[in-house]
Amino acid sequence: MCDTIAVVGEGRVLFAKNSDRDVNEAQFLQWHPASEHPQDSRLKCTWIEIPQVRRTHAVLISRPFWIWGAEMGANEHGVAIGNEAVFTKKRVSRTGLTGMDLLRLALERAETAKQAVEVIKDLIRIHGQGGGCGHESKRFTYHNSFIIADPRGAYVLETADRECAVEPVRGARSISNGLSIPGFARKHSDYLYTRVSECRRRRQVTQSLAEKAARPADLMAVLRSHEAGREYPRYRWLNGAMASVCMHAGGIATGSQTTASWVAELSPQGNRHWVTGTSTPCAGLFKPVRVEEPLDLGPEPVDRYDPSTLWWRHEVLARPIARNPERLLPLVAAERDDLESSWLANPPEPAQAFAEADRRLQRWTEAVRAVSTEDVRPWIVRRYWKVRNRRAGMPLPWDGKADRRS
């Protein structure tokens, strides 16, 4: 599950996305330079192979470790795209291009948002979309929607199998895990899965807040928000905190959690990108990146705890905070907000920002570890996380203790 936002203003476009995936499905940043490819060469995507084009653009993407495509990303021409799972009445093909494949292919092949729309439509027409998209269950399948932005505008592209609908963005626009273009949504939307995803509840929050957003900091706050009127997540027995924009897992039927976040400011004068590279932005830090400036962030993470990776180092902070955010998040949030504000006003070099972020992460982790507190989440959520922490080999000495409050 995910949420993506675009705000088209005078002389610039704001873009933001939370990527919501399975909780141990580590995500990482990956840079690919512009490249020339031999004529008639082939490209292996997540599930199928397609013809490669002669030239691909430089891209920066944020992708789940096991998928070729990406949840979100940008290219050297200022195109930024976010992808959403949507649930339709049409059957999902057993194989094809995933929505994440389509996103990466569009970034590699398009110089404008309008071109990216046509790239995705053509790829769907020729190759179709489909294949397993879940980490814990490859049987989890869906169709896709996108917000596609560049410095001059943005589009919503929604799909149902090989059918597509496109809507230009005027002002603020958000999408979630349900079809939203009038007519197309009425015709194709699957009622049950759309309702369970809580997409309409989240979209009400993101749309309302996006209409007030005037700068990147405002969209960072949107991505960190939970349900309307609530500072911290509220869990339901069926689908956890899926109603939260900053999503937290723990329900019986669904286990999605925000695993990475991205905010961009796109303008003809230049583009700025801010990423967490980590889960749960309510406990994370947005750091500046550049499409044209690759960083060495260490090895690629997988679904097992590895302290040499940024994503898993952050989990040692985020997972304890989630046990009792009202008590533990204030140990981090004020200092995090001050640092982020200074970076937004005067952006440091990306390498310097990531190095400083790592130093702060270590200090915040030690501060949270020093506080003894019980897990205040419902018992079904505690049980869910005990299993996932064990699967990941997380070094959490308190996990599994008999916290009884619910």
Q: Could you tell me which residues come within 8 angstroms of residue 384 by beta carbon, excluding any fewer than 6 positions away?
A: 240, 249, 250, 251, 255
Q: Exactly one of 2, 45, 133, 246 is catalytic; which is it? A: 2
Taking the CB of residue 152, how many other CB atoms lie within 10 A of it? 16
DSSP track, 163-177: EEEEEE--SEEEE-S
How distant, in Å, are the alpha carbons of 30, 43, 64 from that of 69? Answer: 11, 12, 8
Residues 221-251 as b/e (b if ≥16 CB within 10 A, e otherwise) read: bbbbbbbeeeebbebbeebbbbbbbbbbbbb
**Is 2 an annotated catalytic residue?**
yes
Helix, strand, coil percent values for the chain (each to nearest 5): 30, 25, 40
Scanning the structure block, which residue is given the tokens 């020729």? 126
Round to whole Å and give the CA distance between 244 and 249: 10
> Which residues belong to the active site?
2
